[in-house]
């Protein structure tokens, strides 16, 4: 767990993700959050342990970012619909030069291109560790042979793969219930597990409950984007998320005292 310690408070951690402009396109954005400066401000003031972005945002908005940068060094658009592959688009040394404190990489297990991504990740992981940087693996089952990308056995497989491939933390999707998620956390061994946020829930309380379930299932934290920066009041919502994830409070109590 050593390399991830700097991103933790109380043994837990909250990471704000803002790489959706590439991954999904600007359809995720509104008038406010289309502006990187708006989301960076949430990362700075909302109690986040790291900010996820691609190299372009880190380069162009560097002076605004006050939290550690977890830089994604691969990515893809949502345009191509077949088995996914995301190739490296930034070197580890350039990420470090831009001030990255950790490296992020996505592998789609089950894709016909998983081998390419695993090989690329292997090299990136070694380069990052040589520079003392932690490596967080976004690990998502996806492709023609993956019938259900959040099936518990698939998510546990992803978590275990992250451990065996040498990641310092695994970012996985929620399985839908606490029991199966706790098995995925077990499968990840000693590496911290982060839940990926997903589409914004209609009711913010539902997301707080899901966050609470993940933490009680043994997850270290959340790496979340849309549920925070699409919120009507992102700073207030971040405060509540901090209470649940970092302080371990029950969502109901958090809401009552809000
Ligand atoms: P969200 O909380 O907005 O889902 O962000 C988490 C994340 O992992 C982002 O880092 C990434 O852009 C996105 O989800 C990828 O999601 P998917 O590949 O499932 O569309």
CATH topology of domain 2-256: TIM Barrel (3.20.20)
CA-nearest residue for atom 12, ligand 1, is 20
Query: How far, in Å, is the centroid of ligand 1 from the Cα of 257?
Result: 30
First to last CA, the chain: 33
Q: How far is CA 97 from CA 46, 55, 94, 131, 214, in A?
A: 26, 11, 5, 11, 34
* Torsional class of 53: left (φ above 0), alpha (ψ -120 to 50), beta (otherwise): beta
Global model pTM greater than 0.85? yes
- The preferred substitution site among 196, 200, 204 for testing ligand 1, maximizing ligand atoms within 8 Å of CB, is 196
Quick: pLDDT tens for 169-199. Answer: 999 999 999 999 999 999 999 999 999 999 9
- 147 as an active site residue: the answer is no
Better-scored residue on pLDDT, 1 or 253? 253
What are the residue boundaries of the structural domains of the chain, listed by start? 2-256
Quick: pLDDT tens for 14-41. Answer: 999 999 999 999 999 999 999 999 999 9
């Amino acid at each position: 767990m050593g390399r991830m310690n700097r991103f933790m408070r109380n043994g837990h951690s909250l990471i704000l993700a803002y790489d959706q402009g590439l991954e999904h396109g600007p359809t995720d954005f509104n008038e406010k959050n289309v502006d990187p400066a708006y989301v960076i401000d949430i990362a700075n003031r909302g109690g986040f342990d790291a900010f996820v972005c691609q190299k372009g945002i880190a380069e162009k908005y560097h002076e605004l970012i006050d939290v550690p940068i977890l830089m994604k060094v691969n990515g893809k658009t949502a345009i191509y619909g077949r088995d996914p592959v995301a190739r490296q688009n930034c070197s580890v040394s350039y990420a470090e030069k831009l001030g990255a404190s950790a490296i992020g990489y996505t592998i789609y297990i089950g894709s016909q291109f998983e081998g390419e991504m695993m090989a690329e990740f292997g090299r990136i992981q070694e380069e990052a560790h040589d520079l003392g940087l932690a490596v967080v693996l976004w690990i998502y089952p996806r492709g023609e042979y993956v019938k259900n990308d959040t099936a518990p056995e698939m998510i546990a497989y992803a978590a275990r793969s992250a451990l065996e491939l040498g990641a310092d933390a695994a970012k996985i999707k929620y399985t839908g219930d606490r029991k199966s998620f706790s098995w995925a956390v077990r499968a990840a061994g000693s590496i911290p597990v982060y839940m990926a946020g997903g589409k914004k829930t209609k009711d913010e309380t539902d997301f707080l409950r899901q966050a609470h379930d993940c933490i009680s299932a043994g997850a270290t934290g959340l790496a979340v984007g849309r549920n925070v920066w699409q919120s009507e009041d992102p700073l207030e919502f971040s405060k509540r998320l901090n209470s649940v994830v970092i302080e371990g409070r029950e969502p109901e109590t958090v809401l009552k005292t809000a």
